[in-house]
Structure 1
Amino acid sequence: MGASSRERRRHPAPDSDHRSTMTTTVITPERAGSLAGLFRERVEASPHKVAYRQFDAARGSWTRSTWAEMACEVGRWQMALKREGLEPGDRVAMMLRNCREWITFDQAALGLGLVTVPLYTDDRPDNVAYIVEQAGVKLLLLEDRTQWQRLLPVRDRLQTVTTIVSLRGFDDDSVPGDPRLTAAADWLFGLEGDLVTRLEEPDSLATIVYTSGTTGRPKGVMLSHRALLFNAHAASRCAPLGGEDVFLSFLPLSHTLERTAGCFLPMVVGAEVVFARSIPQLAEDLRVVQPTVLVSVPRIYESVYAKIQAGLKQKSALARLLFRTTVDAGWARFEHIQQRAGWSPRLLLWPLLGRLVAHKVLERLGGRLEYAVCGGAPLPPSIARFFIGLGLPVYHGYGLTEASPVVTVNRPDENLPASIGKPLPGVEIRIGEQDELLTRSPSVMLGYWRDDEATAATIDPDGWLHTGDKARIDAQGFVFITGRIKDIIVLGNGEKVPPADMEMSIQLDPLFDQVLVIGEGRAFLSALVVLDAAAWREYARELDVNPDGDDDLRSRFVERSLLARVQAQLKDFPGYARIRRLTALREPWTIDDGLLTPTLKMKRERILARHRDDVERMYADYAES
């Protein structure tokens, strides 16, 4: 992002003199041939360069692994997998947090021609059982005994699994016996072996990734070696990435965005990946690791934004004015660099304001971020403007699991934050019926596992993948998502309302942690809102009500006060997009209670079923008033 970004690239991260700052060779799909071939080529090209870094809790320090060391470990795991008698094409699953062993198991399996099935560590047991059954998984790798204890109620459904390996081992006193259980230390004991890279056809199946559907059962997306290789390499061509870059990995590797952009992409360019300890420790990890690349979803940026805004409320009026002036000056500078605006006197303020204000915020993010990529869901333009105005290069993109997953992304020299960018090199897009965004490329999935009907409904005879998202393309080629074909509320008067856009806008107020807009077939819109606990306590004091009292929470006085804040967030929406009633809740919707998918999408039908009485009360009360 301008000269300052390029200057930062000349300086290695602290405590990183162990790795070269020279840009490494980019490995092409043709050279790699397969995902296992990509790993072998990287090992041969950069054997002594650090590949991964993770925190060792026992030592209290970060440990590093070179590509050569990773190859030795992969060969060892391959010996253990071969001893299981698995055949090419057999499915094996991993249910681990992001760590070195996730990569080791994935590469060991891929090198033997096995098909990997990633599972979310916090997914519900019945969902895990369904995936294992449907995919016919033969070996399951778990994190620890706690995961096995969670799966105990569904273990009778894991009929296809012959071996269950625990990375951290089992405690015999607390885990019921099962002949399939083994600790990784025992499973791997005494094994050594050279790296095996089975020659795979590029279009052979590499992995089955189950989409976290918001309705019905998840579908298994079949992704080939070619699809993932093509996508990772095409993404690498969108920005000057290389061996000096450091990726901070915290989105689950079971999410295809993280797997492609946070695993295979760094492998393509030879960058280092550091595994974050946890989401609660992310702020500290950012400061310590000082990454140059961060791949995230909007919720993380929204959280940081909300915390900064809450902090500003405690500052003086002068401090708030200085902050707003900094963001305005930074945004003017960005628009000038992007050649969308001429020179402005505000640009003269940036050098001083950047040092006094913006620098302090960026230091909290490590101080070296050059690519803050946002995907998985739309990033509100106001938040993008906020961070870009502070000098953080935010790049909004778009994708879906069925496309491996990246379809479009903004670039350093072509960044229009309100858009989802332009297609990756080699990726075709067009607008179909009902303004649906269609895409076609080698990244498109082979189909849905054992579901020909769903496959035919998603990929047409000409190879176009139907995304289900409405879009438009402007004269410069930038793509804008305008809504979902199915996720539309049709009010009783025929007006069509995109609930996701409204929910996102309401959540910009830090008081509202989760929001579900309701109104299908009704006379007006209402909402269920989950309040942020800390923000609600503070606001309750302002209203002089008991923050723990259900009667106060459901009172008309509190509801009207909350509605006023909601309407303030919706001021730019059409008049019919008005929330007339709401129900405030204190208990958040979670994955464990089945109301969120593992990727934190709301399961609308289940939430509505859970709160059916609240919904009916809102409409009945309004009709009577």
Structure 2
Amino acid sequence: MNPIQQFVRWEAEKPEAIFLQQPLAGVWKKWTYRQAGQEIRSMATALAERGLPPRSRVGILSKNCAHWIMADLAIWMAGHISVPLYPTFTGNTIAQILEHSETKILFVGKLDTWEDQKAGIPTGVACIGFSTYLKTPFPAWEDLVTTHPPLKEFASWTADELATLKYTSGTTGNPKGVMLNFGAFQFVMKEGLNAIDVKPGDNNRLFSYLPLSHVAERSLVEMTALYSASTIYFSESLETFGANLAEAQPTIFLAVPRIWAKFREKILEAMPQPKLDKLLKIPLVNLLVKRAIKKKLGLAKCKWVISGAAPVAPELLRWFQKLDIIIRDTYGMTENLAFSHINLNKVKIGTVGHVWPGIQWRLSEQGELQMKHPGLMMGYYKDEALTNTVLTNDGYLKTGDKGEVDREGFFTITGRIKDQFKTDKGKFVDPTPIEMQLLQNPDIDQACVVGMGIPQPIALINLSAAGKSKSKDAIRDSIAQTLEHVNPSLESYEKLEAAVIMQRDWTVENGMLTPSMKLKRNELEKANLEKYPVWYKMKTAVVWE
């Protein structure tokens, strides 16, 4: 069954079960499957009355909220293709995507920078606003669902039809339109939910805060809810995030590495490491401490704690294990619907686990992971040439990630083929494994190893909150010790000449991170390449920008 059929099933079988919970001014507004169905069907009628050709593209530009999910379902119910956009996209990127996808209608919702973004909406794209979160001059969802009758006969779809165009956040170049069909969602949900033993009736709760335009959040949160009759909770704002999560107490929770680092910082602000270590050594007291921390974080009832989007430092995983929080590192990409590897029944730190069921995979001669399963993309929209560079003649996706498999079948990513750079000595360096070693130091929040135009690599570093609270001398000692620990494990041409402490954090807002918190190496290179020789020639282990 496709996502619409699944929703209609719960609408009929569990009409009073809670589907969505949205905090508004500190109060949780709830939609049952029946109530959500009425709004979704009425919006589908409003879309149908626009007279668009079947399978037109309809976009969603909003932060996560209940209306995002309902808009997605209304688009499909009306017989159209959804085009989610990251809520942090600039006006220029929004214009590029809407024009490339030929989007006809755009839902505009919960946004922080709307005044800067609205200029990116091309003339001719009609807009519908979520007035609950943002006042716009557009027709409001809240008005349209009260003035249009619910759609009774919803559109039918075949498994091989295009369901959504997901524009990647793009660590390099412009976003690409990944085409995913309904069959991909059906396959991933069937195999994935069976593997983690999630079934309707389990009363699972999901907490949605990572961008729903990202493949992992859409798959693990939206689709899991639709295929298991679960409840989705949302965060009202960054300020209320912690309180909202603690109230939701999800049974399945997904985060990216930076979230885990922030969680640790918050825990240690309340309970410094020496005190925590002491309490964890005391019988019974340690159990109370662990329970209190998990409840405060919102993970007291969590069965599946999952990390994705980027590698997690092993040291951070081990730190959380001491609190009985077992984080299962996972791996995937938009092109395979985030369905590739996970630490499932057994966790092996430093790896991304085993392949999910139903996947065929292989390693190329260069060590690149290639895979094939029904959840792969159909290709890149309007770009057959690019599609042919990543999909082989026999249907395998070339992931671009290099890796190794151990005797137990655990897969370790050793780097990106395209992330390699050549130093002045003519040696190729793979930065990812070195960065993972640097991130073992809790004073380091982010690290990027670079080396174009200089004889030896250097590391660009953003300090963590803990690091920023220390003196320059303390940081110099801390980072120097890390370099002394890391360098002996590297080949001579890989050894780090220096670590540069950057003045500005790398963020989504300044263009150094993608919306899914991945580092944009190309942008970082553009901003700092000419400085590399200066930093290199300083001949000191730790340099301040």
**Mapped partners of 2:45, 2:361: distance in 1:** 43
SS at match of 2:471: helix
Equivalent position of 2:178 in the other structure: 221
**Mapped partners of 1:145, 1:607: distance in 2:** 26
Equivalent position of 1:261 in the other structure: 220
C-alpha change, 1:43 and 1:186, in structure 2 (3 Å) is closer
Q: Is the 8 A contact 1:448 1:454 kept in 2?
A: yes
Q: Is the 8 A contact 2:450 2:458 kept in 1?
A: yes
**Mapped partners of 1:488, 1:353: distance in 2:** 48
**Mapped partners of 1:182, 1:147: distance in 2:** 20
- Of 257-266 and 42-51, more deviation after overlay is shown by 42-51
TM-score of the aligned structures, taking structure 1 as reference length: 0.80
Equivalent position of 1:287 in the other structure: 246
1:592, distance to aligned residue in structure 2 (A): 2.9
C-alpha change, 1:482 and 1:504, in structure 2 (3 Å) is closer
SS at match of 2:498: strand
Q: Is the 8 A contact 2:22 2:234 kept in 1?
A: yes
1:469, distance to aligned residue in structure 2 (A): 0.7
C-alpha change, 1:311 and 1:69, in structure 2 (3 Å) is closer
C-alpha change, 1:54 and 1:146, in structure 2 (3 Å) is closer
> Aligned ranges for residues 173-184 of structure 1 at < 5 Å?
181-184=138-141
C-alpha change, 1:264 and 1:196, in structure 2 (3 Å) is farther
SS at match of 1:192: coil
Q: Verify: 1:455 aligned to 2:455, yes or no.
A: no
Among candidates 165, 168, 181, match of residue 128 of structure 2:
165
**Mapped partners of 1:400, 1:620: distance in 2:** 39
Among candidates 597, 600, 604, match of residue 514 of structure 2:
597
1:168, distance to aligned residue in structure 2 (A): 1.8
SS at match of 1:278: coil
1:285, distance to aligned residue in structure 2 (A): 2.2
Q: Is the 8 A contact 1:229 1:264 kept in 2?
A: no
Equivalent position of 1:329 in the other structure: none
Deviations 1:197-229 (A, max 9, x none): 311111100000011222211110000000012
Q: Verify: 1:581 aligned to 2:498, yes or no.
A: yes
C-alpha change, 1:512 and 1:265, in structure 2 (3 Å) is same
Q: Verify: 1:37 aligned to 2:5, yes or no.
A: yes
Among candidates 193, 197, 211, match of residue 252 of structure 1:
211
Q: AA paired with 2:510?
A: D
> Aligned ranges for residues 136-535 of structure 1 at < 5 Å?
136-143=102-109, 147-155=113-121, 158-161=122-125, 163-168=126-131, 181-242=138-199, 243-309=202-268, 313=272, 315-316=274-275, 319-323=276-280, 325=281, 352=284, 354-366=286-298, 367-411=300-344, 413-520=345-452, 522-532=454-464, 535=467
C-alpha change, 1:562 and 1:379, in structure 2 (3 Å) is closer
SS at match of 1:182: coil
Equivalent position of 1:53 in the other structure: 21
Q: AA paired with 1:593?
A: N
Deviations 1:292-331 (A, max 9, x none): 1101112211222344456664645xx53554x58xxxxx
Equivalent position of 1:564 in the other structure: 480
Q: Gaps (5+ residues) in structure 1? A: 1-31, 327-348, 544-557
SS at match of 1:97: coil
SS at match of 1:454: helix
Q: Is the 8 A contact 1:145 1:168 kept in 2?
A: no
1:455, distance to aligned residue in structure 2 (A): 0.5
Larger radius of gyration: 1
Q: Is the 8 A contact 2:110 2:134 kept in 1?
A: no
Q: Gaps (5+ residues) in structure 2? A: 541-545
Deviations 1:249-305 (A, max 9, x none): 111111110101101112212221111223443322232221111011122112223
**Mapped partners of 1:432, 1:48: distance in 2:** 51
**Mapped partners of 1:486, 1:465: distance in 2:** 16
Q: Is the 8 A contact 1:211 1:218 kept in 2?
A: yes
SS at match of 2:99: helix
C-alpha change, 1:567 and 1:295, in structure 2 (3 Å) is same
C-alpha change, 1:145 and 1:420, in structure 2 (3 Å) is closer
1:477, distance to aligned residue in structure 2 (A): 2.6
Q: AA paired with 1:385?
A: R
Deviations 1:111-135 (A, max 9, x none): 2221111011111221111111110
Q: AA paired with 1:473?
A: V
Q: Is the 8 A contact 2:105 2:127 kept in 1?
A: yes
Deviations 1:83-117 (A, max 9, x none): 21122221010011111111111001112221111
Deviations 1:323-350 (A, max 9, x none): 4x58xxxxxxxxxxxxxxxxxxxxxx6x
Q: Verify: 1:96 aligned to 2:62, yes or no.
A: yes
**Mapped partners of 1:284, 1:101: distance in 2:** 21
**Mapped partners of 1:569, 1:196: distance in 2:** 65
Q: Is the 8 A contact 1:112 1:196 kept in 2?
A: no
**Mapped partners of 1:396, 1:94: distance in 2:** 29
Identity %: 28
- Of 121-130 and 387-396, more deviation after overlay is shown by 387-396
SS at match of 1:528: strand
- Of 470-479 and 397-406, more deviation after overlay is shown by 470-479
**Mapped partners of 1:532, 1:299: distance in 2:** 10
1:170, distance to aligned residue in structure 2 (A): 10
**Mapped partners of 1:236, 1:386: distance in 2:** 28
Deviations 1:579-610 (A, max 9, x none): 32343223222323322222222222222222
**Mapped partners of 1:110, 1:371: distance in 2:** 29
C-alpha change, 1:118 and 1:569, in structure 2 (3 Å) is farther
C-alpha change, 1:314 and 1:355, in structure 2 (3 Å) is closer
Q: AA paired with 1:165?
A: I
Q: AA paired with 1:167?
A: F
**Mapped partners of 1:515, 1:405: distance in 2:** 24
1:51, distance to aligned residue in structure 2 (A): 1.1
Deviations 1:487-525 (A, max 9, x none): 123334454433233334434434333322211353111
SS at match of 1:433: coil
Q: AA paired with 2:27?
A: S
Q: Is the 8 A contact 1:235 1:265 kept in 2?
A: no
